[in-house]
Amino acid sequence: MFVGKDIERLDALEKVMGRGVFAGDLTMEGMLFGVLIRSDKFHAKIRSIDAVDALSTPGVVRILTHRDIPGRNGFGIIKKDQPYFAEEHVRFPGEPVLMVIALSERIAREAASKVRIEWEEIAPVLDPFEAANSKVSIHKGGNLLCHKRVLKGDVNRGKEESDVIVERTYSTQRADHVFLECEAGIGYPDPSGRIVVISSTQNIHYKQKEVSQLLALPEDKIRIIQAATGGGFGGKLDVTVEGYAALGAFYTNRPVMVRYTREESMLANTKRHPLYMSYRTGAKKDGMLTFVEAKIVGDTGAYASYGEVVALRAAVHATGPYQVPNVHVESSMYFTNNPVCGAMRGFGIPQTAFAHESQMDLLAEGLNMDLLEIRKINALRKGSTTATGQVLSHSVGFYDTLKCVEPAWKSRNKKDNKGFGLGCMFYGIGNTGVPNPSGCHLTLNPEGKVTFHLGACDIGQGSDTALTQILLETLGIEKDSLELLKGDSDITRDAGSSSASRQTYITGRAVYEAGKKLRSYLEEKGIKKGRPLREICGEASRGGRIVFEGYFDPPTTSLDPDTGRGVPYATYAFATHMTEVEVDRSTHTCKVKKVHAAHDVGKAINPSSTRGQIYGGIAMGIGLALMEEFIPLKSRSLYTYYIPTSMDMPSVETYLVEDEEPTGPYGAKGVGEPALIPQAASIMNAIKDAAGVRGYELPCNFERLCLLAQRDKK
């Protein structure tokens, strides 16, 4: 009735009318504005701060530094190592040092420009190889954040058995999320003395915990509410403005708005990790892979953020969606004085996909095999064992995605400057080898409706609509009989973060579980015998509050720290993209003309929305392959950092494979990140086909294409 249907998005009407309330649109009586003053140094000691002129500017209410923090001056998803305000040192350009709070944004900015900071510069460490050997230690514990390993079989035996071995090194860039809405939030004290923050976020319950630690207040004294959120892509998972807005409200007892300009967002926001990946891959004459050996080195910037997750995910997915008997992956992440790298759509796997998909093409070339054929031969399928030793027993639709693009692949017409490339991927849904639960609950209200309490953050991907579809399907009731209450830590259970493509699968299953409980209750009360829902709800709400809870934690195991063995994810999504490009050899530009995108999503709860994710992922993949590169202090705004426009988009054919996941709601898995992951890889392979040159660095912008062409001539 609802699942598998193109139900219109719940929030679309208010958004087309321009009535979507984003955090920066809010106004409150007596509202003040907070503006941060940041370091413009990569690495320095703070000698002195002179804020006298700033403080005496008319309209300035207060200036806050690390000394004003009542609780912990540190946040981070795993390690709480990133300070809200620098204490003695700054470790990257953009690190906050203090905040000016004033009557207006204009005054706050004017005052901020009067703050004088005297620095003692320290030699910065700017790449991870330098970090590994440098005498300069960015943190007390040294420059290594983490080292991850995945071992399977015997790589030396794999080498002996190989008829062809390909060895190459790949590198990728730092990238910015460029969500259209920059970070924004407002903090205020409520009448009961609690601190409330309304912000643009991917994760309300996590931020409640961080703000509680910052202010040294119990969690129940903190309330986080999600405003309409203008995109996230991982960049609104870490604490952004929430801590500053909360601290401002705590000290001034008034509402404090903190909203970043694009320039501030680009300084402050976490980035995609640059990875350096050295691969050796072998195959037999018949195309069967014999081994993968990979050494991955990443630059996590000044603080940990999601660096450990990216290192681990890159290692676990390093083979790509193929059966490989012998695997040895070493993945290290180093601190540098670059901007902090965190979560960004794909968590390291768009990077490794570029490497493993280039390797597949190189092997096929060495064996004189068809590029699709080598992927089909090696494809993970039901019964395959992954690099971590996990046996895939269900929902492995990878081969079907290859079959989807096969007709287009076989009928491709290679000519002139046109070329075609393939990119494939698999992606574990949810967090890696750790408990990753979601909860939700349902109540019945006196007006005769079911109230859906949802803690998952819809950041534009459409989770509110998809999860509502799952609930309506389970309950068998009409849309009008449901009231959605969401994104408020006071009235919802923790549904985890909107990341790792996990909301449809994990929260979706929790919603299904809650729905099933309520469904039995309604049946017990006679709904099937024609008793109206209105009446049942009315009766139930008079007799006290009844709560129907849903909870799901996907069945995973932790990974062995020495070998990486275990079951990191309960399920995987799979995809194949086939991309056609045209390379202009005089201007060294590449235009993406057409993409065939096949995705095993388990079940498309909302096919239109699923396609929307795929189109958006392709756009971001084009940016990653051809244009986006964040250079600290040079990429200041959208005039020095380009993202794809409508003119850069190809036509796209989508194919939805639905190999249902038994633990997912109605078989659903996830698609948000899979949509992006294979795109850059397929473009790079297509460029090789079109122009005869293979790029090993992203982005392959016109400067790099020009260099490749020049080298080719020599």
Partner 1 sequence: MHRISFNLNGETTETEVEDYSTLMEMLREKFSLLSLKEGCGIGECGACTVLLNEKPVYACLTLAVKADGCDIKTAEYLSKGSEIHPLQKSFIKAGAVQCGYCTPGMLMSAYALLKNEEKPTDEMIREGISGNLCRCTGYIQIVEAVRDAAKI
Which residues of the chain form contacts with partner 1 (CB under 8 A)? 6, 8-9, 11-13, 15-22, 24-25, 177-182, 228-231, 233, 261-262, 459-462, 608-609, 611-612, 614-620, 637-639, 643-647, 649, 652
Measured distance CA(34)–CA(114) in Å, rounded: 15
Tell me which DSSP letter residue 503 carries: I
- Least distance (Å) between residue 3 CB and partner 1: 17
Q: Which is nearer to partner 1, 180 or 546 (CB)?
A: 180
Largest Cα span, the chain: 84
- Least distance (Å) between residue 20 CB and partner 1: 5
Q: Which is nearer to partner 1, 214 or 675 (CB)?
A: 675
701 phi, psi to nearest 5 deg: -80, -175
The H or E element spanning position 513 is: helix 508-524
CB 226 within 8 A of CB 457: yes
- Least distance (Å) between residue 454 CB and partner 1: 17
- Least distance (Å) between residue 245 CB and partner 1: 18
CB 303 within 8 A of CB 76: yes
Q: Which is nearer to partner 1, 22 or 85 (CB)?
A: 22
Q: Which is nearer to partner 1, 7 or 536 (CB)?
A: 7
- Least distance (Å) between residue 301 CB and partner 1: 22
C-alpha 188: how far from its chain's center? Answer: 29
Q: Which is nearer to partner 1, 385 or 608 (CB)?
A: 608
Measured distance CA(322)–CA(330) in Å, rounded: 18
Measured distance CA(133)–CA(135) in Å, rounded: 7
Q: Which is nearer to partner 1, 581 or 708 (CB)?
A: 581
Residue 55 burial (10 A CB sphere; 0-12, 13-18, 19+):
middle
Q: Which is nearer to partner 1, 259 or 493 (CB)?
A: 259
**What tokens were used for 706?**
């020009």
Measured distance CA(117)–CA(103) in Å, rounded: 23
Q: Which is nearer to partner 1, 1 or 180 (CB)?
A: 180
The DSSP result for 418-478, as a single string, is EEEEEEEEEEE-SSSSS---EEEEEEE-TTS-EEEEE----SSS-HHHHHHHHHHHHHT--
Residue 529 burial (10 A CB sphere; 0-12, 13-18, 19+):
exposed
Q: Which is nearer to partner 1, 331 or 461 (CB)?
A: 461
- Least distance (Å) between residue 567 CB and partner 1: 32
- Least distance (Å) between residue 282 CB and partner 1: 37
**What tokens were used for 489?**
């830590």
- Least distance (Å) between residue 618 CB and partner 1: 5
Q: Which is nearer to partner 1, 553 or 648 (CB)?
A: 648
| Residue that is written with structure tokens 């949509």 in the block | 675
Measured distance CA(500)–CA(300) in Å, rounded: 18
Q: Count of H helices and E strands in the chain?
A: 18, 23
Measured distance CA(382)–CA(389) in Å, rounded: 14
Single-letter residue type at 476: G
Which residues, in sequence order, are bridge partners of residue 64?
99
Q: Which is nearer to partner 1, 223 or 596 (CB)?
A: 596
Strands 450-454 and 572-584: unpaired
Cis peptide before 699, with omega less than 30 degrees from 0?
Answer: yes
- Least distance (Å) between residue 683 CB and partner 1: 14
Q: Which is nearer to partner 1, 13 or 547 (CB)?
A: 13
* Sheet strand arrangement including 450-454: 482-486, 450-454, 438-444, 547-552
Residues in the chain: 714
- Least distance (Å) between residue 201 CB and partner 1: 13
Tell me which DSSP letter residue 709 carries: H
- Least distance (Å) between residue 611 CB and partner 1: 7
- Least distance (Å) between residue 460 CB and partner 1: 3
